[in-house]
Amino acid sequence: GDSVTQMEGPVTLSEEAFLTINCTYTATGYPSLFWYVQYPGEGLQLLLKATKADDKGSNKGFEATYRKETTSFHLEKGSVQVSDSAVYFCALRLGNFNKFYFGSGTKLNVKP
Amino acid sequence: DTAVSQTPKYLVTQMGNDKSIKCEQNLGHDTMYWYKQDSKKFLKIMFSYNNKELIINETVPNRFSPKSPDKAHLNLHINSLELGDSAVYFCASSRAGTQNEQFFGPGTRLTVL
């Protein structure tokens, strides 16, 4: 079935370190892919998205490229800040459906 | 200007009680959702309505009943609350089309004592 798998956390990094959070998906069609971020005590908010293969989504220094050949959408940031500490969710949406599939979330802790 | 709003933000109640959570969106979206997030942050879809019609109904106890009086509102009523219902409940909405994302409310933290 359709699903999203992302790396387990927590991920702990020092400020200015490079971040990668892995996300792979299984889908029967041609999904759009999303990364959401959840700060403590808040709802999820869209971080970036990509709607077709080879698209790169980017926002606030975060990037992810839609790789159809490896069914992946890994999140990267070159230099993390303490304020990036949050839980990150990878998600997909398939055409003709209103259902979103979410990964289990990856908690990121950034230390000063 | 809040896009997706939920009330209340916190709800503390005794086992066996009945409670409701309300959700409203002012984005003009035609699909709304309820999710349950557990203490490990795992997000589980519960229900989805499209133009007031139930389209997703996951394996959820029938003590949970969603109601959509119009496209902009989706309420969640829970009967006979149990300890295991304690969680954060999120409402979300989206526009039709694969490329469109969901917008989430701020969540309702339900604690059942």
pLDDT digits (tens, 9 = 90+) for A11-24: 999 999 999 999 99
CB-nearest to B41 from A45, A87, A99 is: A87
Burial of B15 (0-12, 13-18, 19+ CB in 10 A): exposed
How close A106 comes to chain B (CA, Å)? 9
DSSP B20-81: EEEEEE-S--SEEEEEEE-TT--EEEEEEEETTEEEEE-S--TTEEEEEEETTEEEEEE-S-
pLDDT for position B96: 81
pLDDT digits (tens, 9 = 90+) for A58-112: 999 999 999 999 999 999 999 999 999 999 999 999 866 678 899 999 999 999 9
| Best of B31, B94, B99 to mutate (most A CBs within 10 Å, chain A) | B99
With an 8 Å Cβ cutoff, the interface of chain A facing chain B consists of 30-32, 34, 36, 38, 42-46, 49, 51, 87, 89, 93-96, 98-100, 102, 104-105, 107
DSSP H or E segment with residue A26: strand A23-26
pLDDT for position A49: 97
pLDDT for position A97: 63
Q: Is B94 on the interface with A (CB under 8 A)?
A: yes
pLDDT for position A96: 62
Residues of chain B with pLDDT under 70: 1
How close A98 comes to chain B (CA, Å)? 7
Q: Tokens in use for A26?
A: 């299984």
B95 contacts B31 by C-beta, under 8 angstroms: yes
Residue of B nearest to A107 (CA): B41
pLDDT digits (tens, 9 = 90+) for A26-65: 998 889 999 999 999 999 999 999 999 999 999 999 999 9
